[in-house]
Structure 1
Amino acid sequence: MSVSVSTRRRVGSTSLHLPVLGFGAAHIGELYTTVDEADSRATLDAAWDAGVRYYDTAPWYGRGLSEHRLGGFLRTKPRSEFQVTSKVGRTLHRPADPKTFDRGPWTGGLNFEVRFDYSYDGIMRSYEQLLQRLALDTVDALVIHDLDVAYHGEEGQAAHEKALVDTGIKALQELKTSGDIQAYGMGINTNQAFEEVATRVDLDFCLVAMPYTLLDQESLTRGMQTCLDRGVSVIIGAPFASGILVTGSGAGAKYAYGKAPPDVQARVQGIEA
């Protein structure tokens, strides 16, 4: 069966069918380097001209900048011709101290601090905010973003998971039932989460960042299989390991959104040889 950029696949048991290739908009939020408006627009134009019609962004990307830029571009296109997903779990606010505010890890981005909130009210507020930044009245799906011990610590993770299970999921279910969104899923950052999440929360899909890349494939028979057995679709969010499999090894190579460690560099060098 031939596959092209326009080939679509069904998400879980929902009515949503997404293209097999999409555009991840973290970099127009200035992840590794500043990106001027002209380069951002040229990148989006090139993706569209190549046939890309699925775009994924998040409030976290550039602290709102990615959504603003993507929305400005998509406003020039017929809504029926593209699909867009964004993320919930963070809300954006004026910094408590604007003079000392640090925008890291973004090299640029906007001057908003983020607050994690996976409760009903937090997810609804995150959703309403992102629609305004995108200047759209709908998105096709929402992703629960960075519900991960690495961000919250053990105690914080437990509290945020409780908020999601107790009330947050209800918000997503209501948005889906009302037709505001067609599906919802969760972002996955670790193999452990990949194996556990599909059995703990009722989801339509998982958006997998690093547990599966073209360099790391152990999750094929573990977390991915668990999802597929339960009818949960899997979207691969970082097939090139966040950089090194595009740029190659060497100084400045990125892996898992940071500097590529020596063992990863060595593995990639083995492929390059």
Structure 2
Amino acid sequence: MLELPPWGLGAAALGNLYTAVDDATARATVDACWDAGIRYVDTAPHYGLGLSEERVGAALRDRPRDQFVLQTKVGRLLRPVSGAGRDDTGGFDVPATRERVWDFSAAGVRRSLEDSLERLGLDRVDVALVHDPDDHADQARAGALPELLRLREEGVVRAVGVGMNQTALPTRFVEEFDLDVVLIAGRYHLLDACAADDLLPAARRTGTAVVLGGVFASGMLAHEEPPADATYAYAPAPAELLDRARRIAVVAREHGTTLPVLAVRAAAAHPAVASLVLGMRSPAEVRRNAELFATPVPDEAWEALRRQGLLPRGMVLPPEVPA
């Protein structure tokens, strides 16, 4: 079983998610990750129509290959197109020189990995995940997942799994297939721990490593004080959640810590969780997040959150708090 580092770089931002990042800043971000000891990078063809993979590969190509874990995804092939315009389907600020084509077939999986390796300029990836098969469950079950298992057996990849934003379908996949990794975004954090109802217990039973994305809840938990215009699930934050986030921030300040520190430490505490991937688009963000992981939380802060009923149902407290 491949051992995952405790946290890593979520490289969607390096594919110009929402706003553009220039090449020099993207390279400096990956370099800053390396300097901070981060050895796990998650990317995908979907991220910037291949731009994220290209930038990640360029930054890692000269690094010792056995010293980092590289993860990409299958399910969307990229097809060249002619014409002007910007990508208007994925939220990425990139020219629409390619289009995404859903393909969860066995042949599509192999083609996707071959194309990813070409963009990365590397000879292998370590982890391959089926990406967002929400509306293609049968195809993924019949084609993509069995093919990834074959590729693992052949030694083409070291670990396989799924990456999604919901819990029901990956829970079924974890129970049906011998998967190594499941990446779940936005379903286990300080405001919503619904993954604790199904996916995390299933992963513990099957020995599947859980990787969490979206632990800052669309950015609401990334600030010491959640802003009035905070978003949640890519929409304006509901008033009830914004109020709860602010109350958690008050508890953090009262105990000498911050809301972002609580967010990462709480997310990482569940015994099924092997790693977190955090989206970062600058060296400053890398350094700031590295500090979050290095900052301890007083036991009294967790006790106060529990006493005030501010923890979501199912949230496992970090080990700072005695059982």
TM-score category of the 2 structures, normalised to the smaller one: 0.7 to 0.9
Shift of 1:251: 4.9
Report what 1:201 is aligned to.
177
Q: Structure 1 residues 258, 110: closer, same or farther in 2, change over 3 A?
A: farther
* Correspondence 1:215 to 2:179: no
Q: Do 2:180 and 2:208's aligned partners in 1 also have CA atoms closer than 8 Å?
A: yes
Q: Structure 1 residues 250, 144: closer, same or farther in 2, change over 3 A?
A: same
TM-score by length of 1: 0.83
* Correspondence 1:255 to 2:241: no
* Correspondence 1:240 to 2:216: yes
| Identity %, equivalent residues | 40
Shift of 1:271: 1.6
Q: Structure 1 residues 238, 164: closer, same or farther in 2, change over 3 A?
A: same
Q: Aligned match of 1:168 in 141, 144, 167? A: 144
Amino acid of the structure 2 residue aligned with 1:114: R
Q: Aligned match of 1:85 in 64, 67, 71? A: 71
Q: Structure 1 residues 211, 89: closer, same or farther in 2, change over 3 A?
A: same
**Distance of 1:244 and 1:262 partners within structure 2:** 12
Amino acid of the structure 1 residue aligned with 2:109: I
Q: Structure 1 residues 258, 92: closer, same or farther in 2, change over 3 A?
A: farther
**Distance of 1:263 and 1:94 partners within structure 2:** 45
Report what 1:39 is aligned to.
25
* Correspondence 1:106 to 2:83: no
Q: Structure 1 residues 74, 188: closer, same or farther in 2, change over 3 A?
A: same
Q: Structure 1 residues 110, 251: closer, same or farther in 2, change over 3 A?
A: farther
**Distance of 1:31 and 1:177 partners within structure 2:** 34
Deviations 1:127-173 (A, max 9, x none): 1111111111100010110111xxxxxxxx2xx32222223223212
**Distance of 1:79 and 1:255 partners within structure 2:** 37
Q: Which shows bigger deviation, 206-215 or 192-201? A: 192-201
Q: Secondary structure at the match of 2:221?
A: helix
Shift of 1:98: 2.6
Q: Secondary structure at the match of 2:218?
A: helix
Shift of 1:252: 4.8
Amino acid of the structure 2 residue aligned with 1:240: F
Q: Secondary structure at the match of 1:186?
A: strand
Q: Secondary structure at the match of 1:86?
A: strand
Q: Which shows bigger deviation, 251-260 or 137-146? A: 251-260
Q: Structure 1 residues 199, 170: closer, same or farther in 2, change over 3 A?
A: closer
Amino acid of the structure 2 residue aligned with 1:142: A
Q: Secondary structure at the match of 1:63?
A: coil
**Distance of 1:110 and 1:79 partners within structure 2:** 31
Q: Do 1:64 and 1:110's aligned partners in 2 also have CA atoms closer than 8 Å?
A: no
Q: Aligned match of 1:70 in 48, 53, 56? A: 56
Amino acid of the structure 2 residue aligned with 1:224: L
Shift of 1:220: 2.1
**Distance of 1:221 and 1:105 partners within structure 2:** 29
Q: Where do 5+ consecutive residues of structure 1 fail to align?
A: 1-13, 149-156
Shift of 1:64: 0.6
Q: Structure 1 residues 212, 196: closer, same or farther in 2, change over 3 A?
A: same
**Distance of 2:145 and 2:77 partners within structure 1:** 17
Q: Where do 5+ consecutive residues of structure 2 fail to align?
A: 251-323
Report what 1:177 is aligned to.
153
* Correspondence 1:18 to 2:4: yes
How big is the alpha-carbon RMSD for the aligned residues of Structure 1 and Structure 2?
Answer: 2.0
TM-score by length of 2: 0.71
